[in-house]
Amino acid sequence: MIKAILTDIEGTITRISFVKDVLFPYAAKQLATFLRLNAKKAHVAEQIVAVKTIIDEPNADLERVISVLLTWIEEDKKITPLKQLQGLIWQTGYEHGDFKGHLYPDAFDFLQAQHAQNIALYVYSSGSVRAQQLLFKYSDYGDIRALFNDFFDTKVGAKQEQAAYNTIIEQLPFDASEVLFLSDVAAELDAAKAAGLKTLHLIRDGQAQSEHPYVHDFTNVKLEQFI
Protein backbone atom coordinates (compact mmCIF):
# COMPACT_ATOMS: atom_id res chain seq x y z
CA MET A 1 0.00 0.00 0.00
CA ILE A 2 1.38 3.41 -0.96
CA LYS A 3 1.81 5.71 2.04
CA ALA A 4 4.11 8.35 0.54
CA ILE A 5 5.00 9.95 -2.77
CA LEU A 6 8.46 11.12 -3.78
CA THR A 7 8.26 13.41 -6.79
CA ASP A 8 10.66 14.85 -9.32
CA ILE A 9 9.92 18.42 -10.44
CA GLU A 10 10.98 19.28 -14.00
CA GLY A 11 9.02 17.33 -16.60
CA THR A 12 6.87 15.64 -13.95
CA ILE A 13 4.91 18.32 -12.08
CA THR A 14 6.45 21.33 -13.87
CA ARG A 15 6.70 21.99 -17.60
CA ILE A 16 10.24 21.44 -18.93
CA SER A 17 10.08 24.76 -20.79
CA PHE A 18 9.56 26.67 -17.52
CA VAL A 19 12.95 25.42 -16.34
CA LYS A 20 14.77 25.56 -19.71
CA ASP A 21 13.30 28.78 -21.11
CA VAL A 22 12.65 30.82 -17.95
CA LEU A 23 14.78 29.67 -14.99
CA PHE A 24 18.02 28.66 -16.74
CA PRO A 25 18.28 31.81 -18.94
CA TYR A 26 17.55 34.00 -15.88
CA ALA A 27 20.38 32.33 -13.92
CA ALA A 28 22.75 32.57 -16.91
CA LYS A 29 22.02 36.30 -17.31
CA GLN A 30 22.49 37.12 -13.61
CA LEU A 31 25.33 34.71 -12.77
CA ALA A 32 28.39 36.90 -13.42
CA THR A 33 27.00 39.94 -11.60
CA PHE A 34 25.77 37.79 -8.72
CA LEU A 35 29.15 36.09 -8.24
CA ARG A 36 31.19 39.30 -8.58
CA LEU A 37 29.00 40.94 -5.89
CA ASN A 38 28.71 37.97 -3.51
CA ALA A 39 31.84 35.87 -3.99
CA LYS A 40 33.13 36.61 -0.50
CA LYS A 41 29.93 35.62 1.35
CA ALA A 42 30.46 32.27 3.06
CA HIS A 43 27.55 30.40 1.39
CA VAL A 44 28.67 31.58 -2.08
CA ALA A 45 32.41 31.13 -1.44
CA GLU A 46 31.69 27.51 -0.47
CA GLN A 47 30.15 26.84 -3.91
CA ILE A 48 33.03 28.57 -5.71
CA VAL A 49 35.52 26.31 -3.90
CA ALA A 50 33.38 23.29 -4.86
CA VAL A 51 33.53 24.29 -8.55
CA LYS A 52 37.33 24.68 -8.40
CA THR A 53 37.59 21.24 -6.77
CA ILE A 54 35.41 19.60 -9.44
CA ILE A 55 37.45 21.11 -12.30
CA ASP A 56 40.66 20.37 -10.37
CA GLU A 57 41.86 23.98 -10.68
CA PRO A 58 42.38 25.19 -7.09
CA ASN A 59 43.89 28.49 -8.31
CA ALA A 60 41.20 29.31 -10.88
CA ASP A 61 40.13 32.98 -10.71
CA LEU A 62 36.50 34.11 -10.45
CA GLU A 63 36.17 34.79 -14.19
CA ARG A 64 37.24 31.19 -14.94
CA VAL A 65 34.68 29.88 -12.44
CA ILE A 66 31.97 32.03 -14.05
CA SER A 67 32.84 30.70 -17.49
CA VAL A 68 32.71 27.06 -16.26
CA LEU A 69 29.34 27.63 -14.60
CA LEU A 70 27.89 29.22 -17.75
CA THR A 71 29.01 26.18 -19.77
CA TRP A 72 27.40 23.88 -17.21
CA ILE A 73 24.11 25.82 -17.46
CA GLU A 74 24.23 25.56 -21.27
CA GLU A 75 24.84 21.80 -21.02
CA ASP A 76 22.16 21.35 -18.29
CA LYS A 77 24.70 19.75 -15.96
CA LYS A 78 23.15 18.65 -12.63
CA ILE A 79 26.27 19.52 -10.64
CA THR A 80 25.61 20.41 -7.00
CA PRO A 81 27.43 23.80 -6.70
CA LEU A 82 25.78 25.01 -9.92
CA LYS A 83 22.34 23.95 -8.65
CA GLN A 84 22.99 25.62 -5.27
CA LEU A 85 24.01 28.90 -6.96
CA GLN A 86 21.04 28.82 -9.34
CA GLY A 87 18.74 28.57 -6.32
CA LEU A 88 20.33 31.66 -4.77
CA ILE A 89 20.00 33.62 -8.02
CA TRP A 90 16.38 32.60 -8.69
CA GLN A 91 15.39 33.92 -5.26
CA THR A 92 15.73 37.49 -6.56
CA GLY A 93 13.66 36.69 -9.64
CA TYR A 94 10.82 35.20 -7.60
CA GLU A 95 10.93 38.01 -5.03
CA HIS A 96 10.81 40.67 -7.77
CA GLY A 97 7.87 38.90 -9.44
CA ASP A 98 9.88 38.30 -12.65
CA PHE A 99 8.28 34.82 -12.83
CA LYS A 100 6.11 32.44 -10.80
CA GLY A 101 6.69 28.77 -10.07
CA HIS A 102 4.89 26.81 -12.77
CA LEU A 103 2.93 23.66 -11.91
CA TYR A 104 0.74 21.64 -14.27
CA PRO A 105 -2.87 22.03 -13.05
CA ASP A 106 -3.35 18.23 -13.00
CA ALA A 107 -0.19 17.89 -10.89
CA PHE A 108 -1.36 20.49 -8.39
CA ASP A 109 -4.80 18.85 -8.11
CA PHE A 110 -3.19 15.42 -7.66
CA LEU A 111 -0.73 16.57 -4.97
CA GLN A 112 -3.44 18.45 -3.12
CA ALA A 113 -5.77 15.41 -3.21
CA GLN A 114 -3.05 13.06 -1.94
CA HIS A 115 -2.14 15.46 0.86
CA ALA A 116 -5.82 15.59 1.87
CA GLN A 117 -5.77 11.76 2.03
CA ASN A 118 -2.79 11.88 4.45
CA ILE A 119 -0.31 10.60 1.88
CA ALA A 120 3.07 12.06 2.80
CA LEU A 121 4.62 14.10 -0.01
CA TYR A 122 8.37 14.45 -0.61
CA VAL A 123 10.33 16.14 -3.37
CA TYR A 124 13.56 14.91 -4.98
CA SER A 125 14.93 17.19 -7.68
CA SER A 126 18.30 18.14 -9.11
CA GLY A 127 17.26 21.70 -8.32
CA SER A 128 18.53 22.66 -4.85
CA VAL A 129 16.20 22.42 -1.84
CA ARG A 130 16.21 26.25 -1.81
CA ALA A 131 15.16 26.30 -5.49
CA GLN A 132 12.41 23.75 -4.82
CA GLN A 133 11.02 25.73 -1.89
CA LEU A 134 11.08 28.97 -3.90
CA LEU A 135 9.13 27.34 -6.74
CA PHE A 136 6.45 26.19 -4.28
CA LYS A 137 6.45 29.42 -2.25
CA TYR A 138 5.91 31.56 -5.36
CA SER A 139 3.81 29.05 -7.31
CA ASP A 140 0.91 29.78 -9.68
CA TYR A 141 -1.27 28.52 -6.79
CA GLY A 142 0.27 30.67 -4.06
CA ASP A 143 2.50 29.35 -1.28
CA ILE A 144 1.99 25.58 -1.32
CA ARG A 145 5.10 24.52 0.65
CA ALA A 146 2.89 23.11 3.41
CA LEU A 147 1.81 20.29 1.09
CA PHE A 148 5.27 18.74 1.39
CA ASN A 149 6.84 16.85 4.28
CA ASP A 150 10.45 17.23 3.14
CA PHE A 151 12.74 18.08 0.23
CA PHE A 152 15.83 16.32 -1.18
CA ASP A 153 18.37 17.45 -3.76
CA THR A 154 21.64 16.14 -5.21
CA LYS A 155 23.28 16.39 -1.79
CA VAL A 156 21.86 12.86 -1.27
CA GLY A 157 23.37 11.76 -4.59
CA ALA A 158 22.58 11.77 -8.29
CA LYS A 159 19.05 10.91 -9.35
CA GLN A 160 20.16 8.06 -11.60
CA GLU A 161 21.95 6.24 -8.78
CA GLN A 162 20.21 3.66 -6.62
CA ALA A 163 22.24 4.75 -3.57
CA ALA A 164 20.51 8.16 -3.56
CA TYR A 165 17.10 6.50 -3.12
CA ASN A 166 18.46 4.23 -0.37
CA THR A 167 19.69 7.36 1.43
CA ILE A 168 16.31 9.06 1.10
CA ILE A 169 14.39 5.99 2.31
CA GLU A 170 16.65 5.75 5.38
CA GLN A 171 15.40 9.23 6.32
CA LEU A 172 11.68 8.46 5.86
CA PRO A 173 9.34 6.63 8.26
CA PHE A 174 8.30 4.28 5.43
CA ASP A 175 9.55 1.12 3.74
CA ALA A 176 10.75 1.62 0.18
CA SER A 177 7.80 -0.46 -1.10
CA GLU A 178 5.37 2.04 0.46
CA VAL A 179 6.80 4.97 -1.51
CA LEU A 180 5.80 5.85 -5.08
CA PHE A 181 8.45 7.73 -7.09
CA LEU A 182 7.23 10.00 -9.90
CA SER A 183 9.56 11.05 -12.72
CA ASP A 184 9.78 11.81 -16.42
CA VAL A 185 13.21 10.14 -16.75
CA ALA A 186 13.42 6.36 -17.18
CA ALA A 187 16.95 6.10 -15.74
CA GLU A 188 15.77 7.78 -12.52
CA LEU A 189 12.82 5.40 -12.29
CA ASP A 190 15.14 2.42 -12.87
CA ALA A 191 17.35 3.57 -9.97
CA ALA A 192 14.36 4.10 -7.67
CA LYS A 193 12.91 0.69 -8.60
CA ALA A 194 16.26 -0.97 -7.86
CA ALA A 195 16.05 0.60 -4.39
CA GLY A 196 12.61 -1.00 -3.91
CA LEU A 197 10.35 2.00 -4.53
CA LYS A 198 7.24 1.79 -6.70
CA THR A 199 7.45 3.91 -9.85
CA LEU A 200 5.22 5.94 -12.14
CA HIS A 201 6.57 7.42 -15.38
CA LEU A 202 5.12 10.78 -16.47
CA ILE A 203 5.31 11.00 -20.25
CA ARG A 204 3.96 14.46 -20.90
CA ASP A 205 4.47 14.51 -24.68
CA GLY A 206 2.09 11.60 -25.04
CA GLN A 207 3.93 9.38 -27.52
CA ALA A 208 6.56 7.12 -25.96
CA GLN A 209 6.00 3.94 -23.95
CA SER A 210 7.83 2.81 -20.84
CA GLU A 211 8.91 -0.28 -18.95
CA HIS A 212 7.44 1.40 -15.87
CA PRO A 213 3.74 2.05 -15.28
CA TYR A 214 3.17 5.31 -17.16
CA VAL A 215 0.62 8.06 -17.64
CA HIS A 216 0.47 11.25 -19.68
CA ASP A 217 -0.91 13.31 -16.81
CA PHE A 218 -2.23 12.73 -13.28
CA THR A 219 -5.95 12.89 -14.08
CA ASN A 220 -6.80 9.24 -13.47
CA VAL A 221 -3.96 8.12 -11.23
CA LYS A 222 -5.13 6.01 -8.27
CA LEU A 223 -2.63 4.88 -5.63
CA GLU A 224 -4.53 1.58 -5.16
CA GLN A 225 -3.16 0.41 -8.54
CA PHE A 226 0.38 0.18 -7.05
CA ILE A 227 0.32 -3.00 -4.98
Residues that bind ligand L4RZE5RM (CB under 6 A): 8-11, 19, 23, 78, 83, 86, 125-127, 131-132, 135, 159
Residue among 171, 176, 217, 166 at smallest CA distance from 199:
176
Cβ 112 to Mg ion shortest distance, Å: 20
Binding residues for Mg ion, rule: CB under 5 A, are 8, 10-11, 184
Is 10 or 153 the residue whose CB approaches Mg ion more closely? 10
Is 62 or 187 the residue whose CB approaches Mg ion more closely? 187
Q: How far apart are the first and last CA of the chain?
A: 6
**Residue 131 interface partner, choices ligand L4RZE5RM, Mg ion, none, CB cut-off 5-8 Å depending on type:** ligand L4RZE5RM
Q: Which residue is nearest to Mg ion (CB)?
A: 11
Cβ 108 to ligand L4RZE5RM shortest distance, Å: 15
**Residue 47 interface partner, choices Mg ion, ligand L4RZE5RM, none, CB cut-off 5-8 Å depending on type:** none
Residue among 102, 84, 91, 82 at smallest CA distance from 12:
102
Alpha carbons 226 and 221: distance in angstroms, whole number: 10
The DSSP letter of residue 222 is: -
